[in-house]
Structure 1
């Protein structure tokens, strides 16, 4: 008997969406209380069947959730009485839902169906063998009962059949038993009930009819196909195809039927029978007279038919049953014209419904040993449909691209894939078709619509990917016909002045195409000036469209990189003059009126730098041009700096700081023009860049927005270290002094890569300075790491972790770049402190990257200082600290041997011990065991038999180290072997 206790009304108030947080929390606690209570589900079941909460959807959903939790956790082990109570509750609720005054909302019915399905998978077939018969009996109660019956069947399908849901092996075994039992006991009755439903409700309740068709489609995948694919069902499905409210669901149902797993020839026969009846009923000849949603569904059906026939052919072809494979292939060829009709439909949703069919059809033809004339014609027809359908529609908004525009771009990408596949199948066809259309259009582009001009330019752009053997941008090599045709199209593109077309899509595609085929201009450089002017004038960088200006800035930088600079020598100064208005600092005092964003200006500064650096001018002229290029930065930097400092408005102050940071980024990008073959010194351009460095260093002593400004200075210094030699060194002390003034963890972490870069490049040259600055750097790091930190602040904690790792990377850079004298010449106490931090990092810090760094440092120090008298006392450090660390680190509970990074630590640890062995020889085996820490006996492992006295301990360790280290296998020690050694020793 169901529980008669009433719900706590006060606790249910929190279900109201407008309830405050406290009330909602009380409701949540009540919810958990009911779930944990043995009678909680009964209380909720009573509430659902008592009629008390008929109009309160929130309470009903709440109650079903409690019952659902009970079914998932406790019901599988319930006794007979509880099972009977559950059955009574479900059927009672179902009757009230079917015959009561009002029907529950859809989301309540779906939740109820889910609860029914949970009871079903537990009780059927053993505890409730008549589950389906009981459900079918409810159909007499009317359409509401039918609706719930169908929803329950769909929920059962999700639990038992849906392949997209991952099941355990036990669940799969349960589901197989359920389906096998259903096939024997009730599937025929279920199918009969479906037929009665769709027959009785096709006119009076189309919603129920559509739901039933969905059920049929779901169950057909595992029941006997003949129960559905027969005259009575096919006849009624065809009738529904003529009814606007039912035809979409009918299409989906037929689609699911043809997806049914079958042998290839049986599947082909099934498809042909459906096509015959659909065609006889005239349902495939009315594309123009029907609305898009239905045609999309019909297209999906045709798409499914095509894909299934292709799969049938593939199975037979792979199994070498070539004569049988002709059957689905012939059937497929007859469906291709039908696919074309959908593909060329003006509605892109309808067209898109068969794209996969078209794609897989071309893939099939690529597998055939030879292609028939009809198939070649099909490919040609498909190509022309693709080229036509890729055109932009009049409704496409280039200024305000929204969801429709995004969907068209995705649709276009799918068409492009098919275009490329056709190119791989028949490159000559693609080359000829595109060339003819391109020539016809561009010869008279002034009289064409923008869609026609844009598509031919896009097709030329796409040819690079569609035509075979065009690797690494070498589009003008290989087949002479291809090369000649591409060159002819490129000549027409750049000489026709189509770049003057008054539409952004055409102009943008023009620039994209000339950059993609930049190698064309190597062979025909006479066209370079015209293209450059297009980039520089109102067609490109000065275009009214911000989008075109932005994209052109990037494309221009790419184009300039490939152009022979000697061609530009005579007009270089004019080019720089045309770029001058784009090099203005976009600062608050000029109203932020620059035509380009800061990100886009980076490309312009880089491009201008390339022009100057790679020009044929003498050094004096290059210096003059470079100073002109940097003039907007040089002339305004200090002014902007002072304006920032005098500004009281936080927003404007930040705007100035961002402008100053961008100015430094611009100067950094100008230096990108230099290379290993054309250095700053060779060009005689050291002076302009050191002059501007002096100016930038003023920003390091500014109290506001220091992180942003320091980032800009560091970025510039990084570039100068790359581009200069020892000319940069005089500026390093001042820069470092300011960068190390009261830094936070992030600033200090960002500083370390700069000092590392200096050490790696200049090595011995920078050693004297580094020797003086080493401890100040280290002390600053120690100080920042010692500052108190809120343990709840994850950002700050991560910054400290990165700084800690950065500190060890700094030490590693020093020892790995042959400047260990920097450490060697430190005060012994300071050096000892540094060494102890490295040993502590190797053992105590639970960060594999840090530990690996530390062990690599120790290994290198052993290699440099071990076995010599270079550093007094290092042997003691080796035996007393380094060797024990190699054994202590892997014994830490945080040392996760299942982690790949930790295995790298293990290898580095082994390499460190091997280095000690190589340096110290037999002394290592005699002395090291004495310093293995005996306190490791307190580890939660019992190895007292090995540690009973020092003599036994010494003997075991000596034997192990000699046996393994002498074999040389320690360098490639695996995790299991290393763990075994540690266990044996400790």
Structure 2
């Protein structure tokens, strides 16, 4: 019957949920209290021996291990000996075999923990005792192996990150074992593996698994000797697969042990592995799907890789010596040449087996050999650069590799991807998983393919051509075969040199034409359809030389093989069609009318079926200004961009162009008008308006501003009408964030397309965007838009900015409340070094958004100073100007990001230079320049710390500070120097350094002053440390 201690341990282990939470917590607290009692380790020893509960025994071993790790070193020698003798007694006890594996593992970990601390000085006999105990039978061998494995995993292995102390103890134990016992341990391994290989293969296999873990750091001769290798080879033919696998793994570890290349080559020959592995050309050991096949493949891959590495190292030595004009000793040169020849011969001998592995049905097996093949081809590329040739044997190997990789790179014959996409959620998940697995496998295989092509382009082109012809002409070809050969053709374009890939007359042109002119089997299958479209885009210039195939090429995009295919293919087809049109729009001019007729139903379908699902198939988010918040993308809209590219060029007759634009614009405008009429009453209205607005934006990309405003203003007027209509959108749907974002993107686009024609509509644009319910992100979007307008229109914006700036200033300062920390510490706690103590994710995100608003505010003010009508600042209310200048000064002096400070200082320095004449006339402005710009931003802000002089952004900031200091001195002269004589002492600067600082400002140029500031900052940083 359990006593209180045992009951507490049992309760603490309960996983059934039957024990009340409070009772379990009491039990855990009771057990933890036992651990800290004086002499508790004696209780652990006694209860492990006496308790009949496995949970109690496990708890005692765990507690004892914790005690050993933390307090063993402070015990008296006699007490440590008691623990060691108890542990060894348990290990040697016959009862241990009756205990479950988890208890034996825990005992092994405890033993390893004590050995780590005590061997060799405190427990010199531990390993000899363990070896002696292992002679007592299977259960003794089992615990011996578990202890050796625990020593490796808990103390020795480098695969687990350890502290510096842990690494020191690991090295110390390894050194001690090398000096005192590893030879005896290796002899025990051999004897045990030999003894049990027939009578108990599982026990022999466990011994070999232990050996495998130690080969990496012990003397290789302890294992790579005649009798141990003979034993391993004999075990390869064992009827026990676990024992076979263990023998293979031991040979692999011996093989990959680091050593000199000539020594490694000698070891490989001694192991007789080449002949062993070469015979696997007829098939790997074990049945299909067995782990033995995987491990045998790894052994072959390791052998081939090691031979190749020896080859490379010896060859590189010869090349390096010749490059520096040194001569090898004749005998050494002869030895090196013989080694190179031996390596080359071994690779030749192994290659049939390598191909067998590559073509194995199990990808776990086949992919093991790919790293070797990649390294082999890389070596051939390097040799080709030196000698411009590749041997006949190597060329044959590469040709066989091309054949061999086809099976490995193909979609499986039982693929879940059907001819027509679609299905249940489970089926679609299976399809996605399969595609990801194939793409992951192909990543290395296609790299290998392209590297082979770079070594021998002509044979690779012939290989693809042959496969292409056989596949396209065979109506029985599977979709897997068709998709793969098309993928190879597509990838070949990436590998080809400019001359080979010369479109139309190069070696690849005929292959592309073969695809376009053929009836491709399974052409509507999603994978095949996409592969064809990718080829047409990559090799679009082929069609420039062979315009007779253009109708056939275009049809692939428009019919059931492209846009009218499944949703996945349709979306990608729209993006690829846009790229295809962009490359060939002048060549496609004769087909424009028929193209637009064919596209009309699809354009209508896309406009009326919004699909905002986050697809970014072509990465087609609008370029230019920062993307407004919550903008989603439907890549089918690329078809509108393609239409714009077709009808937008100036060589389209003006009347015809206007007719075509109207034909595309009018349905979109009617869709917007209809939705505006019903407003938010119709749930789909927002999405339909977004889709139509995006369609107009995409269409406009095909028209240059010069054409739309000067050459053919009637085209510009069509987009002006669209802009006029669009102004009603944010008023009708004021609460829709996504629609607001789409409208802002539309305005950005119209500014690029119709330029100054937008000016009359911009006041209303800003008015509808800066409504009372706007949040921080909304205001950021407005600032980005105004920034673009300033950069685009400059002086033309005076009247607009005169009205807008006070409202913008009030909006920004309303969101950056008086409590806001303008140093940016809340927005960027990581950069400032300040922890985000207890802040909720919501509050942290709010701070981040406000920090972004502050940055964009500075960006707007900087643009206004450098690009805009500067005089506008003198016409806005004084309070507004003061708030803006104060914000700039705060950012310049305190912001944690030096790039933000640089922006602020740059703007302030420009104002000093541009408004210098006002300094004497306006005493308030002069005081601002002296105190806030020259004093706070340029002196205190630099010298008060927090800047890293090694950071490139800091150096750039210091350059602006130097320029600003020069400007302030130029405009304020003696008054600034007098102010410095007050500021510098207040910062604790020694008098001589003060004089030097002032002298630098007076007498040096900007570059010299920057260097002086950097040097001063470095000295301050060193002092602070």
What's the TM-score once normalised by structure 1's chain length? 0.86
How far off its partner does 1:513 sit? 1.0
| Equivalent in 984, 990, 1009 of residue 970 of structure 1 | 1009
Could you say which residue in structure 1 is the equivalent of 2:51?
Answer: 51
Give the whole-Å Cα distance in 2 for the aligned partners of 1:17 and 1:501: 57
Could you say which residue in structure 1 is the equivalent of 2:912?
Answer: 862
Q: Does structure 1 conserve the Cα–Cα contact (< 8 Å) formed by 2:776 and 2:850? A: yes
Give the whole-Å Cα distance in 2 for the aligned partners of 1:467 and 1:525: 23
| Equivalent in 192, 198, 203 of residue 197 of structure 1 | 192
Q: Which segment drifts farther, 912-921 or 891-900? A: 891-900
Output one character per residue of 1:353-381: Cα deviation in whole Å (capped at 9) or x when no partner.
22222222223333444544333322322
Could you say which residue in structure 1 is the equivalent of 2:815?
Answer: 784
How far off its partner does 1:562 sit? 0.7
Give the whole-Å Cα distance in 1 for the aligned partners of 2:875 and 2:232: 92
Give the whole-Å Cα distance in 2 for the aligned partners of 1:37 and 1:865: 79
Q: Does structure 1 conserve the Cα–Cα contact (< 8 Å) formed by 2:279 and 2:353? A: no
1:961 aligns with 2:998: yes
Give the whole-Å Cα distance in 2 for the aligned partners of 1:590 and 1:100: 65
Q: Which segment drifts farther, 350-359 or 964-973? A: 964-973
Which structure 2 residues correspond to residues 167-178 of structure 1 after superposition, within 5 A?
172-178=167-173
How far off its partner does 1:403 sit? 4.5
Q: Does structure 2 conserve the Cα–Cα contact (< 8 Å) formed by 1:343 and 1:354? A: yes
Could you say which residue in structure 2 is the equivalent of 1:623?
Answer: 658
How far off its partner does 1:980 sit? 4.6
Could you say which residue in structure 1 is the equivalent of 2:890?
Answer: 840
Could you say which residue in structure 1 is the equivalent of 2:568?
Answer: 547
Give the whole-Å Cα distance in 2 for the aligned partners of 1:240 and 1:113: 27
| Equivalent in 310, 326, 339 of residue 341 of structure 2 | 326
Q: Quickly say closer, same or farther: Cα 1:14–1:605, change in 2 above 3 A.
A: farther
Unaligned runs of 5+ in 2: 319-335, 419-429, 618-631, 821-837
| Equivalent in 488, 513, 519 of residue 510 of structure 2 | 488
What's the TM-score once normalised by structure 2's chain length? 0.83
Could you say which residue in structure 2 is the equivalent of 1:535?
Answer: 557
Which structure 2 residues correspond to residues 868-879 of structure 1 after superposition, within 5 A?
868-869=918-919, 872-873=922-923, 874-879=925-930
Give the whole-Å Cα distance in 1 for the aligned partners of 2:931 and 2:730: 44
Give the whole-Å Cα distance in 2 for the aligned partners of 1:179 and 1:889: 55
Q: Quickly say closer, same or farther: Cα 1:930–1:912, change in 2 above 3 A.
A: same
Q: Quickly say closer, same or farther: Cα 1:29–1:797, change in 2 above 3 A.
A: farther
1:674 aligns with 2:689: no
Output one character per residue of 1:556-603: Cα deviation in whole Å (capped at 9) or x when no partner.
1111111143533454254344343344356689999x9x99613221
Give the secondary-structure state (helix, strand or coil) at the position aligned to 2:414.
coil
Could you say which residue in structure 1 is the equivalent of 2:605?
Answer: 584
Give the whole-Å Cα distance in 2 for the aligned partners of 1:776 and 1:799: 20
Output one character per residue of 1:202-232: Cα deviation in whole Å (capped at 9) or x when no partner.
3565444333222212211222222222343
How far off its partner does 1:301 sit? 0.8
How far off its partner does 1:236 sit? 2.8
Give the secondary-structure state (helix, strand or coil) at the position aligned to 2:417.
coil
How far off its partner does 1:778 sit? 0.5
1:461 aligns with 2:461: no
How far off its partner does 1:154 sit? 2.4
Output one character per residue of 1:786-816: Cα deviation in whole Å (capped at 9) or x when no partner.
2989963211121111112222222112112
Which structure 2 residues correspond to residues 317-716 of structure 1 after superposition, within 5 A?
317-320=315-318, 321-368=336-383, 369=387, 371-387=390-406, 389-399=408-418, 400-401=430-431, 403-442=433-472, 444-469=473-498, 475-476=501-502, 483-498=505-520, 501=523, 503-543=525-565, 545-565=566-586, 567-572=588-593, 574-584=595-605, 599-614=634-649, 616-641=651-676, 643=678, 645-646=680-681, 653=683, 656-675=685-704, 679=708, 682-684=711-713, 685-702=715-732, 705-716=735-746
1:816 aligns with 2:866: yes
Could you say which residue in structure 1 is the equivalent of 2:932?
Answer: 881
Which structure 2 residues correspond to residues 822-833 of structure 1 after superposition, within 5 A?
822-833=872-883
Q: Quickly say closer, same or farther: Cα 1:152–1:628, change in 2 above 3 A.
A: farther
Q: Which segment drifts farther, 686-695 or 8-17? A: 8-17
How far off its partner does 1:737 sit? 1.4
Output one character per residue of 1:262-295: Cα deviation in whole Å (capped at 9) or x when no partner.
3333322332343469649977755387323322
Output one character per residue of 1:680-709: Cα deviation in whole Å (capped at 9) or x when no partner.
654542223222223322232356643222
Q: Which segment drifts farther, 757-766 or 602-611? A: 602-611
How far off its partner does 1:461 sit? 1.6
Could you say which residue in structure 2 is the equivalent of 1:722?
Answer: 752
How far off its partner does 1:517 sit? 0.4
Output one character per residue of 1:861-883: Cα deviation in whole Å (capped at 9) or x when no partner.
22222355597232221112222
Could you say which residue in structure 1 is the equivalent of 2:121?
Answer: 126
Which structure 2 residues correspond to residues 45-84 of structure 1 after superposition, within 5 A?
48-51=48-51, 53-54=53-54, 56=55, 67=64, 69-76=66-73, 79-81=76-78, 83-84=80-81
Give the whole-Å Cα distance in 2 for the aligned partners of 1:45 and 1:804: 66
Output one character per residue of 1:435-473: Cα deviation in whole Å (capped at 9) or x when no partner.
23333443x243534344333323322221333346xxx
How far off its partner does 1:201 sit? 3.6
How far off its partner does 1:184 sit? 2.5
Q: Quickly say closer, same or farther: Cα 1:81–1:351, change in 2 above 3 A.
A: same
Q: Quickly say closer, same or farther: Cα 1:203–1:639, change in 2 above 3 A.
A: farther
Give the whole-Å Cα distance in 2 for the aligned partners of 1:36 and 1:642: 78
Give the secondary-structure state (helix, strand or coil) at the position aligned to 1:485.
coil
Give the whole-Å Cα distance in 1 for the aligned partners of 2:94 and 2:764: 83
Q: Quickly say closer, same or farther: Cα 1:52–1:291, change in 2 above 3 A.
A: same
Give the whole-Å Cα distance in 2 for the aligned partners of 1:795 and 1:41: 51
Q: Quickly say closer, same or farther: Cα 1:727–1:49, change in 2 above 3 A.
A: farther
Q: Does structure 2 conserve the Cα–Cα contact (< 8 Å) formed by 1:49 and 1:92? A: no
Give the whole-Å Cα distance in 2 for the aligned partners of 1:719 and 1:353: 51
1:760 aligns with 2:791: yes
Q: Does structure 2 conserve the Cα–Cα contact (< 8 Å) formed by 1:613 and 1:622? A: yes
How far off its partner does 1:346 sit? 3.6
Q: Quickly say closer, same or farther: Cα 1:278–1:495, change in 2 above 3 A.
A: closer
1:311 aligns with 2:363: no
How far off its partner does 1:510 sit? 1.5
Q: Does structure 2 conserve the Cα–Cα contact (< 8 Å) formed by 1:661 and 1:711? A: no
Give the whole-Å Cα distance in 1 for the aligned partners of 2:106 and 2:444: 38
Q: Quickly say closer, same or farther: Cα 1:869–1:601, change in 2 above 3 A.
A: same
Q: Which segment drifts farther, 615-624 or 175-184? A: 615-624
Q: Quickly say closer, same or farther: Cα 1:805–1:411, change in 2 above 3 A.
A: closer
How far off its partner does 1:981 sit? 7.7
1:210 aligns with 2:205: yes
Q: Quickly say closer, same or farther: Cα 1:798–1:979, change in 2 above 3 A.
A: same
Give the whole-Å Cα distance in 1 for the aligned partners of 2:125 and 2:803: 90
| Equivalent in 82, 98, 103 of residue 100 of structure 2 | 103
Could you say which residue in structure 2 is the equivalent of 1:949?
Answer: none
Give the whole-Å Cα distance in 2 for the aligned partners of 1:572 and 1:358: 52
Q: Does structure 1 conserve the Cα–Cα contact (< 8 Å) formed by 2:892 and 2:900? A: yes
What is the RMSD of the two structures over their aligned residues, measured on CA atoms? 3.8
Unaligned runs of 5+ in 1: 648-652, 938-942, 947-952
Give the whole-Å Cα distance in 2 for the aligned partners of 1:756 and 1:318: 58
Give the whole-Å Cα distance in 2 for the aligned partners of 1:746 and 1:34: 57
Could you say which residue in structure 1 is the equivalent of 2:323?
Answer: none
Give the secondary-structure state (helix, strand or coil) at the position aligned to 1:540.
coil
Give the whole-Å Cα distance in 2 for the aligned partners of 1:235 and 1:962: 85
Which structure 2 residues correspond to residues 727-742 of structure 1 after superposition, within 5 A?
727-742=757-772
Output one character per residue of 1:116-152: Cα deviation in whole Å (capped at 9) or x when no partner.
4333332222222223223334425644443333233
Could you say which residue in structure 2 is the equivalent of 1:650?
Answer: none
1:268 aligns with 2:265: yes
Give the whole-Å Cα distance in 1 for the aligned partners of 2:844 and 2:710: 46
Q: Does structure 1 conserve the Cα–Cα contact (< 8 Å) formed by 2:486 and 2:532? A: yes
Q: Which segment drifts farther, 876-885 or 33-42? A: 33-42
Q: Does structure 1 conserve the Cα–Cα contact (< 8 Å) formed by 2:280 and 2:356? A: no
Q: Does structure 2 conserve the Cα–Cα contact (< 8 Å) formed by 1:438 and 1:457? A: yes
Q: Does structure 2 conserve the Cα–Cα contact (< 8 Å) formed by 1:584 and 1:632? A: no
Q: Does structure 2 conserve the Cα–Cα contact (< 8 Å) formed by 1:11 and 1:26? A: no
Q: Quickly say closer, same or farther: Cα 1:505–1:31, change in 2 above 3 A.
A: farther
